[in-house]
Amino acid sequence: MADALVEMREIVKTYPGVVALDAVDFTLRAGEIHALVGENGAGKSTLIRILTGAERPDRGRLLLNGREIHARSPAEAQRLGVAAVYQEINLAPDLSIAENLLLGREPRSRFGWIQWGEMRRRARQIVRSMGLEADVSAPLRDCSIALRQMIAVARAVDQRARVLVLDEPTSSLDAAETGRLFDLMRRLRAAGLGIVFITHFLEQVYAVSDRITVLRGGRCVGSHAARDLPRLALVSAMLGKAASAVAAERASTRRADCGGAARLVAKRVFRRRSIQPFDLTLRAGEVVGLAGLLGSGRTEMARLLFGVETRDGGTISINGAAMHRHSPRRSIRAGVALAPEDRRAAGLVPRLSVRDNILLALHASRGWLRRLPRRDQVALAEQFVRSLSIATPDLRRPVAQLSGGNQQKVILARWLLMEPTILLLDEPTRGIDIGAKEQVESLVADLRVRGMAIVFISGELEEVVRVSSRVVVLRDRAVVGELEGAAITAGSIMERIAGPAEGGGHA
Amino acid sequence: MRANLTRHWPLLATGVVLLALYIGAAIAFPGFRTWFQFTRLFSDNATLGLAAVGMTFVILSGGIDLSVGAVIACASMMLALLAGELAWPLWLAAPAVLAAGAAFGAGMGGLIHIFRLPPFLVTLAGMFLARGTALLLSPHKRIELGSHDSVRSLSLLHVADFTLAALIFLAAVTLSALALRWMRWGRTVYAIGSDESAARLMGLAVAPTRIGVYALSGLCAAAGGIVHVIGTQAGDASIAFLLELDAIAAVVIGGTVLAGGRGSVLGTLLGVLILAIITTIPGYVSDLDSWWTRLIIGALLLLFVSLQRVSQHWREE
Amino acid sequence: MREIGRHLLWPLAALAILLAFNALRDPAFFHLRLVEGRLTGAMIDILNQGAPVLLLALGMTLVIGTGGIDLSVGAVMAVAGAVAADLLHSGASTATALAAAVGAGLAAGLWNGSLIALVGLSPIVATLILMVAGRGIAQLVSNGEIIDIAPDAAILAIGRGTVLGLPFPVLIALGAAAALAGVARLTSLGLFIECVGGNEQASRYAGLAVRSIRLAAYALMGVLAAIAGLIDAADIAAADANNCGLYLELDSILAVVIGGAALTGGRFSIAGSLLGAIIIQTISTSILRADFGGRSVPVELNLIIKATFVLALCLVQSSEWRRWRPLRRSAAA
């Protein structure tokens, strides 16, 4: 390929216990926008980190314009012409736009003084050449996130970047802002840059990309021209199931009865830049699966229902009680439990023991004075360690030392002993081994039979199909469909995730 | 214009408070209206002012330096020891003291940067080290210069009633303002305080700048100590006690954000003058005790920190 | 618990070395004598003089446990001492004076806690305000003078009295340590503090009232600082707004760090802080008593030694240091 700008050949990267990239090939041509897609753990971010010099590969070669390069830091990669703009923008918000564009190579007089007039003039030039409109002496923090994003792009381009990596640049932009960013991307493509574009939004993938590379489980599962790859094929490549096989699979019949009392009712609940208004009624004895790609709004939905984030509008009532000033404490008191997606950040207190972590919610609900007697603590913790078969040498072990699956079960134990009526499970099986996964699934089935109302979020479609009695499908931060009973198949869910433009191509 | 107004309102707020204080004092006390009293605001607070200038750099970079008061005391003792007891000429003794101050600051900066230790802890330990050293330099905790003619003649020097101390302070403000505005090093200080990892990615020299900032603070504090010796003809190990708190207060009241990245030396100058007026007023009122000044400074500090908090909240909305 | 046990090993060893050093220099170091119904001796002196630091270290343990810091404790001590002395001076009863002083400490703690937990200021900034203004408040209360406490006042017992031969400050400090250890063991407070300091987000998800816990830690710190201030005032029979509790912020933070707590929060040990405070006081007392060849060591050395100690400890605690260590070892090999 004569016009290959970047070639990554058989890149291997392992972390302790995980093969993040397993002989991945990736080619970026000059003058193309290349979407890199994949679910969590697919290896996208590792690949990008290697491309931008933040990590070194264990094996494999990285060629830029046909010459092998070994960048040891992002700064070095930048000098070689590979620049990245991340979701959390790496600019100094307190400095002016002009400085953010030019700092480090600002025009200076013979005595080393900065020439502000010249600097502003050049900054205005850059801004105009990007088709933007901005007061270059305004501090960056006064600009919209979209403009900051584009200033970061402008800085990279002005530093003669030939390769531009945009890592989820649109995740906090609204539609109009996204459109402006796309215009800029097309302009740069016309100028001959190679752009790697990472996003979770399929619409956006088809809106700007020329080619699409799909990663799954640390392997490259395909690289196609965007117009040759129908949406459904893309979704099935990401989720790892042939579309035809999926469509044929029938939903099991074990979920007939879902007519219990309404436990949780959400009406027109929304949060700006997070999720569009949705309705949801959760009944006793049903498992509602939330299906959608990463970033589709499924986690945001759970967080709103639990009151971790404040909603901008709508009403939520839990077991008949309206949640006005909603907070996790209120939700818990009303009988809700949430096992969060990010166990490390939001679930565990890593230094504390297994026992303390299991009993945390119970102690929190009892207040500081009514600590459970030690004997009861041990008995309760042991009971759940046994019933959930948590593998731990003893209860006093710091929870950080347990495996991922056992950590997840510790969090489940924490909530189950609270005897909630509503259980929100956000990716309860992510990163845990097959055996633990099956245990979690059968536990969910068990709890449902006992009358609990459960929300089950998973990126793995088969799992959602297996455990759910109803499935709500999300796309681009909005609810786009609901499936019930026999209609629940991986195929039908995928169709809804892929969206209406069935043929793919340029939307 | 409106944009400029919203951008600079913290500085404007400080200016308004300063003006109101000065006019109020001038109305209440005729003695306040004199030119001489005006210049004394600078002369009498040159040591605090110098420390505050150094502190401005540290806070702009997102750090804090609690050692400046102790460094001032230590520098005064060192200068008195070198120039007085050891009879070094002043042109040799003063640069030596300045170098020692800068080196001490650079050492703390190195620990903070390389080992990622919290600045407040390192500089708190630095405060004890410097104060302990100052006390150890003489069994009497104080060294009189005696008849050191060159220092005495310096103390009599003045331009339009501004003493040498005031002139040094004003020169430091001017140079710092220039450096912060017109030099890459100065802009790097802002960039680090604003977002360190971004500064690194922009290819800016983070390590030398961060260490340099603490070195500069040590240098300014040492200069403050020298100024004190010139004014009082003696080194004293117990001066400038908790002066770092006043310096921080002056910087914050001057509109510099404690989290770093935003602020100016001009604001610090205004902040120092506000503190100067507040501490001068009790001298004019017989029944007003001097401890009121601590309370008022604390209240002003709270006011400006809350203003910063509110404006931050408001920007985020 | 096992982890904490290992952490106690280093401070215990340090204390043992310090004591052995003293015993070698001064054979009478461990001697205790009963003089007029009062135990005397170097060990008792250490505990007696170390009581204020010990009380502060207890409170600081909780505050640091939540991931915070309190720089205002010295100033709060001064305020409490001034309040008690002033009230006694104007004829109030001992009980009123005590209650008012403790109340002042509580108010100061709540003030700090509200700025941090409710307004959202960073702990350093928030407590800096009271550090600046606190001594002004104390002087306002005492009218800028050192208020003497009448030599026959009952309140002096706090600083000078004995029970069964043991000085009262020692009993108060050890009592407070025991009470706090008991509270940490019998209630969930210790658990909650470790959770808030260890992972604030997870604590919120688990339904902990994060703000109230923060507030409680600073309030308790204020109360303990007030008691320390009372001991100091009763010891010298006067409230000195300028010098009461001077530099004790660093001493108490140092004690907590020596005791094995992480400055980032999430892990604390009452026993460790107790040991840390005793070590610090032993250093001070050792320097006071030491003499080299007939020349006494200047007391100021104390400041330098403590500062070096705190830096060395933080350095060893820092992750960067640990990252460097294997490099050195492989370089040596």
Judge whether A175 is closer than 8 Å to chain C, CB to CB: no
Query: Is a pLDDT exceeding 50 seen at residue C50?
Result: yes
DSSP class of residue A95 equals S
Among B116, B133, B301, beta carbon nearest to C129:
B301
How confident is the model over B110-124, as a mean pLDDT? 88
Phi, psi (degrees; rounded to nearest 5) at B255: 95, 0
Residues of C with CB below 8 A from A340's CB? 205
Please write the tens of the pLDDT for every residue from A348-358: 998 889 999 99
Which range has highest mean pLDDT (B225-234, B276-285, C96-105)?
Answer: C96-105
Phi, psi (degrees; rounded to nearest 5) at C71: -90, -5
Q: Which of A38, A13, A461, A404 is nearest to A217 (CA)?
A: A38
Cβ of B184 within 8 Å of Cβ of A135? The answer is: no
Better pLDDT: A321 or B105: B105
How confident is the model over A362-377, as a mean pLDDT? 88
Contacts of A257 (CB under 8 A, 6+ apart): A285
Cβ of B182 within 8 Å of Cβ of A103? The answer is: no
Among C71, C303, C315, beta carbon nearest to B128:
C303
Given this model, what pLDDT does residue B178 score? 93
Domain boundaries, chain A: 4-94+139-229, 242-335+421-502, 345-419
Residue in A with minimal Cα distance to B257: A94
How confident is the model over A265-287, as a mean pLDDT? 90
Contacts of A125 (CB under 8 A, 6+ apart): none
Query: Is a pLDDT exceeding 90 seen at residue B156?
Result: no
What is the nearest CA distance from B108 to chain C, expressed in angstroms? Answer: 10
Separation of alpha carbons A448 and A264, rounded Å: 15
Interface of B with A in 168-187 (CB under 8 A): 181-184, 187
Whether residue C106 contacts residue C226, with contact meaning beta carbons closer than 8 Å, is answered with yes
Task: Return the SS3 of B144.
Answer: strand
Q: Which of C203, C115, B232 is nearest to A332 (CA)?
A: C203
How confident is the model over C3-16, as a mean pLDDT? 72
How confident is the model over B178-186, as a mean pLDDT? 91
Given this model, what pLDDT does residue B6 score? 61
Query: Is a pLDDT exceeding 60 seen at residue C67?
Result: yes
Burial of A223 (0-12, 13-18, 19+ CB in 10 A): middle
Query: Is a pLDDT exceeding 50 seen at residue C329?
Result: no
Interface of B with C in 42-71 (CB under 8 A): 64
Whether residue A505 contacts residue A234, with contact meaning beta carbons closer than 8 Å, is answered with no
Residue in C with minimal Cα distance to A327: C207
Q: What angle do CA C243, C244, C250 make, to 5 degrees?
A: 95
List, in order of start, the domains of chain B with CATH numbers. Answer: 10-316 (1.10.3470)
Q: Which of A166, A224, A150 is nearest to A198 (CA)?
A: A166
Given this model, what pLDDT does residue B57 score? 96
Among C120, C250, C318, beta carbon nearest to B115:
C318
Whether residue C205 contacts residue A344, with contact meaning beta carbons closer than 8 Å, is answered with no
Better pLDDT: B62 or C29: B62
Torsion sign, CA atoms C236, C238, C243, C249 = positive
Separation of alpha carbons B220 and B72, rounded Å: 9
Please write the tens of the pLDDT for every residue from A436-452: 777 888 889 889 888 89
Whether residue B123 contacts residue B67, with contact meaning beta carbons closer than 8 Å, is answered with yes
Judge whether C80 is closer than 8 Å to chain B, CB to CB: no
Cβ of C206 within 8 Å of Cβ of A364? The answer is: yes
Query: Is a pLDDT exceeding 50 seen at residue C46?
Result: yes
Query: Is a pLDDT exceeding 80 seen at residue A184?
Result: yes
Please write the tens of the pLDDT for every residue from A117-176: 999 999 998 888 887 888 888 888 888 778 888 888 888 888 888 999 998 888 777 777
Tell me which of A313-322, A389-398, B266-275 is least confident.
A389-398
Which range has highest mean pLDDT (A262-266, B238-242, C131-135)?
Answer: A262-266
Given this model, what pLDDT does residue C322 score? 64
Tell me which of A25-39, C24-38, C290-304 is least confident.
C290-304
Q: Which chains touch B (3 or more CB pairs under 8 A)?
A: A, C
Tell me which of B253-257, C52-56, C224-228 is least confident.
B253-257
Residue with token string 């009599």: B156
Question: What phi-psi label fits residue A73: left (phi over 0), alpha (psi between -120 and 50 degrees) or beta?
Answer: beta
Given this model, what pLDDT does residue A246 score? 44
What is the nearest CA distance from A264 to chain C, expressed in angstroms? Answer: 19
Whether residue A229 contacts residue A212, with contact meaning beta carbons closer than 8 Å, is answered with yes
Given this model, what pLDDT does residue C220 score? 95
Judge whether A93 is closer than 8 Å to chain B, CB to CB: yes
Confidence of residue A257 (pLDDT cuts 50, 70, 90): low
Cβ of A349 within 8 Å of Cβ of C208? The answer is: no
Residues of C with CB below 8 A from B64's CB? 124
Which of A325, A365, A371, A399 should one mutate to test binding to chain C, selecting the residue with the greatest count of C CBs within 10 A? A371
Across chain C, the runs of DSSP E, i.e. the strands, are 33-35, 38-40, 147-148, 162-163, 166-167, 238-239, 291-292, 295-296
Confidence of residue A242 (pLDDT cuts 50, 70, 90): low
Better pLDDT: C263 or A103: A103
Which residue type does C53 have? V
How confident is the model over B167-193, as a mean pLDDT? 93
Judge whether C201 is closer than 8 Å to chain A, CB to CB: yes
Given this model, what pLDDT does residue A504 score? 40
Cβ-based contacts under 8 A for chains B and C? 119
Burial of A373 (0-12, 13-18, 19+ CB in 10 A): exposed
Which range has highest mean pLDDT (A27-36, A177-186, C38-47)?
Answer: A27-36
Given this model, what pLDDT does residue A506 score? 39
What is the nearest CA distance from B282 to chain A, expressed in angstroms? Answer: 39
Separation of alpha carbons A383 and A263, rounded Å: 28
Judge whether A340 is closer than 8 Å to chain C, CB to CB: yes
Better pLDDT: C316 or A396: A396
Per residue, the 3-state secondary structure of A236-304, as one string, reads HHHHCCCHHHHHHCCCCCCCCCCCCCEEEEEEEEEECCCEEEEEEEEECCCEEEEECCCCCCHHHHHHH
Domain A4-94+139-229 = CATH 3.40.50.300: yes
Tell me which of A329-333, B146-150, B313-317, C100-104 is least confident.
B313-317
Separation of alpha carbons A60 and A367, rounded Å: 56
Task: Please give the C-alpha separations between residue A206 and each of A36, A194, A202, A274, in angstroms, as whole numbers.
Answer: 12, 17, 6, 22
Q: What is the mean pLDDT of chain C?
A: 84
Given this model, what pLDDT does residue A463 score? 85
Separation of alpha carbons B269 and B15, rounded Å: 10
Separation of alpha carbons B217 and B57, rounded Å: 7
Given this model, what pLDDT does residue B288 score? 67
Given this model, what pLDDT does residue A245 score? 46
Task: Please give the C-alpha separations between residue A466 and each of A463, A496, B244, C1, in angstroms, as whole numbers.
Answer: 5, 18, 65, 43
Cβ of A78 within 8 Å of Cβ of B204? The answer is: no
What is the nearest CA distance from B2 to chain A, expressed in angstroms? Answer: 12
Separation of alpha carbons A84 and A102, rounded Å: 16
Per residue, the 3-state secondary structure of A409-426, as one string, reads HHHHHHHHCCCCCEEEEE
Given this model, what pLDDT does residue C323 score? 65
Given this model, what pLDDT does residue C11 score? 78
What is the nearest CA distance from A318 to chain C, expressed in angstroms? Answer: 16
Whether residue A147 contacts residue A132, with contact meaning beta carbons closer than 8 Å, is answered with yes
Judge whether A94 is closer than 8 Å to chain B, CB to CB: yes
Residue with token string 């009581």: C51
Cβ of B132 within 8 Å of Cβ of C303? The answer is: yes
Please write the tens of the pLDDT for every residue from A45-77: 889 889 988 888 998 999 988 888 888 888 888
Q: Which of C78, C229, C80, C234 is nearest to C150 (CA)?
A: C234
Among C195, C205, C267, beta carbon nearest to A340:
C205
Given this model, what pLDDT does residue C117 score? 92
Separation of alpha carbons A41 and A315, rounded Å: 35
What is the nearest CA distance from B9 to chain A, expressed in angstroms? Answer: 14
Given this model, what pLDDT does residue C55 score? 95
Confidence of residue A397 (pLDDT cuts 50, 70, 90): confident
Please write the tens of the pLDDT for every residue from B41-55: 898 899 999 999 999
Cβ of A99 within 8 Å of Cβ of B187? The answer is: yes
Tell me which of A52-61, A297-306, A411-420, B134-143 is least confident.
B134-143
Better pLDDT: C245 or B45: B45
Given this model, what pLDDT does residue A210 score? 93
Cβ of B289 within 8 Å of Cβ of C300? The answer is: no
The whole-model pTM stands at 0.83
Q: Which of C108, C140, C141 is nearest to C127 (CA)?
A: C108
CATH class of C2-297: mainly alpha
Tell me which of A141-145, A386-390, C35-39 is least confident.
C35-39
Residues of B with CB below 8 A from C131's CB? 245
Query: Is a pLDDT exceeding 50 seen at residue A81?
Result: yes
Whether residue A269 contacts residue A309, with contact meaning beta carbons closer than 8 Å, is answered with no
Query: Is a pLDDT exceeding 90 seen at residue C63?
Result: yes
Better pLDDT: A15 or A479: A479
Among C189, C195, C205, beta carbon nearest to A352:
C195
Judge whether B200 is closer than 8 Å to chain A, CB to CB: yes
Residues of C with CB below 8 A from B312's CB? none
Residues of C with CB below 8 A from A308's CB? 204-205
Q: Which of A192, A182, A183 is nearest to A157 (CA)?
A: A192
Among A93, A104, A141, beta carbon nearest to B204:
A104
Q: What is the mean pLDDT of chain A?
A: 85
How confident is the model over B231-238, as a mean pLDDT? 85
Given this model, what pLDDT does residue C103 score? 96
> Beta partners for A61?
A9
Confidence of residue A501 (pLDDT cuts 50, 70, 90): low
Given this model, what pLDDT does residue A269 score? 93
Interface of A with C in 411-470 (CB under 8 A): 414
What is the nearest CA distance from C325 to chain A, expressed in angstroms? Answer: 21
Interface confidence, given as ipTM, is 0.83
Given this model, what pLDDT does residue B143 score? 83
Given this model, what pLDDT does residue C299 score? 66
Residue with token string 């002016």: A96
Given this model, what pLDDT does residue C294 score? 54
Given this model, what pLDDT does residue A249 score? 42
Given this model, what pLDDT does residue A253 score? 39
Residue with token string 């709500």: A472
Given this model, what pLDDT does residue C328 score? 45
Residues of C with CB below 8 A from B289's CB? 139-140, 143-144
Number of residues written out for chain A: 507
What is the nearest CA distance from C137 to chain A, expressed in angstroms? Answer: 34
Cβ of C250 within 8 Å of Cβ of B111? The answer is: no
Whether residue A504 contacts residue A243, with contact meaning beta carbons closer than 8 Å, is answered with no
Better pLDDT: A40 or A176: A176
CATH class of A242-335+421-502: alpha beta
Q: What is the mean pLDDT of chain B?
A: 87
A4-94+139-229 and A242-335+421-502: identical CATH topology = yes
What is the nearest CA distance from C241 to chain B, expressed in angstroms? Answer: 10
Judge whether C241 is closer than 8 Å to chain B, CB to CB: yes
